[in-house]
C-alpha cells in the first residue's frame, strides 16, 4: 500500500521567474510579477509552485550560480516581496518549493573568495588540486580551471563560475543545513535539489577513464557519499518540517532511485529522472535523432513499473533545461490535439505532475535565427565547441541550437497577443516568440476547447479520483508502436488511458473491453472505437466486479 502524502496528491507548477511576468518593465520577470499572477495559478488548479532560483547571483547561469543564499537578487525584488509571495500563495492554499543549488556556488560567493585566499577554515571548502584532472564539464570543455591567485586548479562540473563545493567537509554540510533551515523557517514547503546526485566525489578526485561525454563521471555520479550526506540533511533538518524534496538526478535507473527513496532514511521524496528525455536524441541532446513514440513509452513504462510501491515518480516533459514538448513529440498539423494527448499520456500515470510555465498553453520552441538571440551559457559554449572542435558550419550549429538549446523553453510567458506578449516589457531579456499572436493565455481562457482548459480538467480529475494518484499502473499492448495504452487499478476501480501517437486513424484493439466504463476525458468528440490522429481518451469504471 502506498503511503499517502500531500506532495503526492499535489500538482506542481514550475516558474522560471526571469521569464514569467515583469512588473516594472526592466525586461526581467520578478517576484511582484508572480504575485500578480497568483489568481491565474489558482484558476489553473495547481497546488505547489516551484520557483527556479531568485537568490543573489552574477547570473552566469541564470541564477544557478548563487553568491548569497539568503538574499534575493534585486532584479527579482526584495526579501519582503519574497515574504509576501509566500504569504499570498499560502493564503490560497498553494505551497511553495525553492530551488536548492548546493552542488556548487558562484565563484563570487564569499566562501569561494575566502577559499581562494586560503582563509583559515575555508581552504578546502571547494575542490583544489595542484595539477588539473581530466574531468569534463556538463556545459562542454574541461571541469578544471586554474586560479591565478591561489595558483591551483579548482573543480567545476558546470561553468567555471560555478565551483563545486567540497561536501566532505563538515562545515560545508553545516552551512547547507543552515540555508535549508533558514528558508524552511520562512515557511517554504520544500526544495527542488539541483544535481543533487553529484555532491559526493571519490576521495582524491582521480582521473576518469576515457569517455566522449562527461569524463570522470564514474567518480561522482550517485556516489555512496551522496546518500550519506542526504541522510544527514534529512535527519538534522528536513525531518523536523512538513516539507518535501525532489532531487534532480540524471543518470539514474529505477533501482538507483529506490536507494534514494528508502522510507526510513528519506534521502529524497521523489526524483527527476532523464531517461525519457532521450526519446529524440542519442542520449546527449546535442546528437538528435528522429522521435519515435516507443522511445518515450519504454522509459516511462520502465519507471512506472520500477518504482511502483517502492518509490514515487515525477511526471514531467518540460522544464527550463528542456525544449518544448509539443515541438519535440507533437505534430504541427495536430498541434492542439497533440499537446492535449501528451498531457493525457503523462499525467494519468503514477507520480506527481510537474507543469512548466507555458506548457499549459502549448508554448513551442523559440525558432531563433540569430546567434545573438541566444543568451544561455550552455548554448553559447556549445556553439563555440561545435564550430571549433567538430568543425560544424554556422548553419548546422544554428540548426542544432534551434533543436536543443535551453533558451527554447525560456522565452517570456505568452499572456496575450500584444507585442511583448503581455510579459511587461518592450525589451525582454530574451525575445518573445512571435507566435504569441495566437498562442497565449488570453486566447486559451476564451476558448472552451483550449489546451489550458484541458489542463484545468486534468487537474480537477486528479482531485476527484484518487486512482489517478495512487492506482497501480499496467501497460496494455506495450508493443504497439503508435498507441500508448495503459490501465490504472485501485481497489475495485479501474481506469484505461488510450493515446494515439500518430497521424493515422487507429481502431482501439478488440481485447480492450470498455463495457461498464465511462469516458471521463478526451481531446476529441468521437465516440466510436476509431481513434483519430493524436486522439487521447480516459475511461473509468467504479467497480471491476459490478459491470
Catalytic residue positions, numbered: 194, 248
101 binds ligand TEU (CB under 6 A): yes
Considering beta carbons, is residue 195 or 496 the nearer one to ligand TEU? 195
DSSP conformation class of 446: H
> Cα separation of 432 and 326, whole Å?
18
Determine if 468 is a binding residue for Ca ion (CB under 5 A). no
Rounded CA-CA distance 519/535 in Å is 13
Look-up of cell digits 570543455: 141
**Binding test (CB under 6 A) with ligand TEU, winner from 164, 321, 360, 535:** 321
Count, residues in the chain: 547
Nearer to ligand TEU, 250 or 299 (CB): 250
For every residue of 321-348, DSSP letters joined together read TS--HHHHHS-GGGHHHHHHHHHHHHHT
Q: How many residues bind Ca ion (CB under 5 A)?
A: 5
Distance (Å, whole) CA 44 – CA 51: 17
Which residues between 210 and 229 bind Ca ion (CB under 5 A)? Answer: none
State the nearest-atom distance from the C-beta of 64 to ligand TEU, in Å. 3
- Of 280, 378, 407, 535, the one binding ligand TEU by CB under 6 A: 378
The residue (of 101 and 439) whose beta carbon lies closer to ligand TEU is 101
Candidate residues 22, 81, 194, 360; the one interacting with ligand TEU per rule CB under 6 A: 194
User: Among candidates 187, 186, 165, which has minimal Cα distance to 174?
Assistant: 165
Interface pick for Ca ion out of 28, 66, 233, 485 (rule CB under 5 A): 28
Question: Which lies closer to ligand TEU via its Cβ, residue 103 or residue 301?
Answer: 103
CB of 366 to ligand TEU, least distance (A): 15
Q: Which of 138, 329, 383, 455 binds ligand TEU (CB under 6 A)?
A: 138
CB of 175 to ligand TEU, least distance (A): 18
Which cell is 202 given? Answer: 571519490
Residue 138 binds which of Ca ion, ligand TEU, none (CB < 5-8 A, kind-dependent): ligand TEU
339 neighbors 330 (Cβ within 8 angstroms): yes
Q: Which does 24 bind (CB under 5 to 8 A by kind): Ca ion, ligand TEU, none?
A: Ca ion
Quickly tell me which residue has 555532491 as its cell. 199
How far does Cα 368 stand from its chain's mean position?
22
The listed partner (ligand TEU, Ca ion, none) that binds 28, CB under 5 to 8 Å by sort, is: Ca ion
Question: Looking at 61, 75, 280, 318, which residue binds ligand TEU (CB under 6 A)?
Answer: 61
- 280 is a site residue for Ca ion (CB under 5 A): no
Q: Which residues pair with 248 in a beta bridge?
A: 272
Smallest gap, in angstroms, from Cβ of residue 528 to ligand TEU? 43
Residue 26 touching Ca ion (CB under 5 A): yes
CB of 281 to ligand TEU, least distance (A): 11
Strands 284-288 and 314-315: unpaired
Question: Do 232 and 265 meet the contact criterion of CB atoms below 8 Å apart?
Answer: no
Of 102 and 233, nearer to ligand TEU (C-beta) is 102
Nearer of residues 61 and 107 to ligand TEU, judged by Cβ: 61
Cβ-contact 81, 31 below 8 angstroms: yes
CA distance 178 to 68: 13
- By C-beta, is 281 or 350 nearer to ligand TEU? 281
Contacts 24+ apart (CB under 8 A), 239-245: 239/266, 241/184, 242/189, 243/184, 243/188, 243/189, 243/190, 243/191, 244/5, 244/7, 244/97, 244/189, 244/190, 244/269, 244/270, 245/190, 245/191, 245/192, 245/193, 245/269, 245/270
Q: What is the dihedral of CA 523, 526, 530, 532, to 10 degrees?
A: -40
Phi, psi for 342 (deg, rounded to 5): -60, -40
Among 22, 280, 321, 407, binds Ca ion (CB under 5 A): 22
Sites for ligand TEU among residues 398-457 (CB under 6 A): 406
Q: Which residues bind Ca ion (CB under 5 A)?
A: 22, 24, 26, 28, 30
Q: Which residues bind ligand TEU (CB under 6 A)?
A: 61, 64, 101, 138, 158, 194-195, 248, 250, 320-321, 378, 406
Amino acid at each position: 500500500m502506498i503511503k499517502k502524502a500531500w506532495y503526492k496528491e499535489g500538482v506542481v507548477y514550475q516558474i522560471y521567474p526571469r521569464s514569467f511576468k515583469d512588473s516594472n518593465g526592466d525586461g526581467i520577470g520578478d517576484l511582484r510579477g508572480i504575485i500578480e499572477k497568483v489568481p491565474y495559478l489558482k484558476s489553473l488548479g495547481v497546488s505547489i509552485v516551484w520557483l527556479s532560483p531568485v537568490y543573489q547571483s552574477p547570473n552566469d547561469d541564470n541564477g544557478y550560480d548563487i553568491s548569497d543564499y539568503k538574499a534575493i537578487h534585486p532584479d527579482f525584488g526584495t526579501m519582503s516581496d519574497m515574504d509576501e509571495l509566500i504569504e499570498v500563495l499560502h493564503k490560497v492554499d498553494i505551497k511553495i518549493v525553492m530551488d536548492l543549488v548546493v552542488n556548487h556556488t558562484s565563484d563570487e560567493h564569499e566562501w569561494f573568495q575566502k577559499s581562494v585566499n586560503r582563509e583559515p577554515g575555508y581552504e578546502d571548502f571547494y575542490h583544489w588540486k595542484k595539477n588539473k584532472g581530466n574531468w569534463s564539464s556538463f556545459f562542454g570543455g574541461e571541469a578544471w580551471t586554474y586560479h591565478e591567485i591561489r595558483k591551483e586548479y579548482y573543480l567545476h562540473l558546470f561553468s567555471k563560475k560555478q565551483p563545486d563545493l567540497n561536501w566532505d567537509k563538515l562545515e560545508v554540510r553545516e552551512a547547507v543545513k543552515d540555508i535549508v533551515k533558514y528558508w524552511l523557517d520562512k515557511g517554504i514547503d520544500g526544495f527542488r535539489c539541483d544535481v543533487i546526485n553529484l555532491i559526493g566525489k571519490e576521495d582524491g578526485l582521480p582521473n576518469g577513464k576515457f569517455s566522449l561525454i562527461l569524463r570522470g563521471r564514474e567518480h561522482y555520479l550517485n556516489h555512496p557519499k551522496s546518500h550519506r550526506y542526504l541522510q544527514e540533511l534529512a535527519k538534522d533538518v528536513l525531518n523536523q518540517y512538513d516539507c518535501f524534496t525532489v532531487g534532480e538526478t540524471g543518470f539514474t535507473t529505477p533501482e538507483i532511485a529506490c536507494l534514494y527513496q528508502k522510507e526510513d532514511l528519506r534521502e529524497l521524496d521523489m526524483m527527476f529522472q532523464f531517461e525519457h528525455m532521450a526519446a529524440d536524441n542519442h542520449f546527449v541532446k546535442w546528437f538528435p535523432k528522429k522521435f519515435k513514440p516507443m522511445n518515450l513509452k519504454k522509459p516511462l513504462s520502465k519507471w512506472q513499473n520500477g518504482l511502483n510501491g517502492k518509490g514515487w515518480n515525477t511526471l514531467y516533459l518540460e522544464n527550463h533545461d528542456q525544449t518544448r514538448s509539443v515541438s519535440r513529440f507533437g505534430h504541427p498539423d495536430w498541434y492542439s490535439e497533440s499537446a492535449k494527448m501528451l498531457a493525457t499520456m503523462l499525467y494519468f500515470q503514477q507520480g506527481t505532475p510537474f507543469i512548466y510555465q507555458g506548457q499549459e498553453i502549448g508554448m513551442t520552441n523559440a525558432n531563433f535565427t540569430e546567434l545573438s538571440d541566444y543568451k544561455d551559457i550552455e548554448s553559447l559554449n556549445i556553439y563555440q565547441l561545435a564550430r571549433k572542435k567538430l568543425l560544424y558550419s554556422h548553419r548546422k550549429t544554428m540548426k542544432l541550437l534551434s533543436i536543443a538549446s535551453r533558451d527554447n523553453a525560456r522565452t517570456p510567458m505568452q499572456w496575450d497577443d500584444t507585442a511583448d506578449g503581455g510579459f511587461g516589457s518592450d525589451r525582454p531579456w530574451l525575445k518573445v516568440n512571435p507566435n504569441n499572436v495566437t498562442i497565449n493565455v488570453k486566447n486559451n481562457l476564451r476558448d472552451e476547447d483550449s489546451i489550458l482548459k484541458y489542463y484545468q480538467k486534468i487537474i480537477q480529475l486528479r482531485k476527484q479520483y484518487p486512482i489517478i494518484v495512487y492506482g497501480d499502473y499496467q501497460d496494455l499492448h506495450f508493443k504497439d508502436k503508435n498507441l500508448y495504452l495503459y490501465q490504472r487499478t485501485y481497489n475495485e476501480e479501474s481506469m484505461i488511458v488510450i493515446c494515439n501517437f500518430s497521424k493515422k486513424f487507429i481502431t482501439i484493439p478488440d481485447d480492450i473491453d470498455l463495457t461498464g466504463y465511462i469516458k471521463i476525458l478526451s481531446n476529441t468528440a468521437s465516440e466510436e472505437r476509431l481513434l483519430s490522429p493524436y486522439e487521447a481518451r480516459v475511461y473509468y469504471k467504479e467497480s471491476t466486479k459490478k459491470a
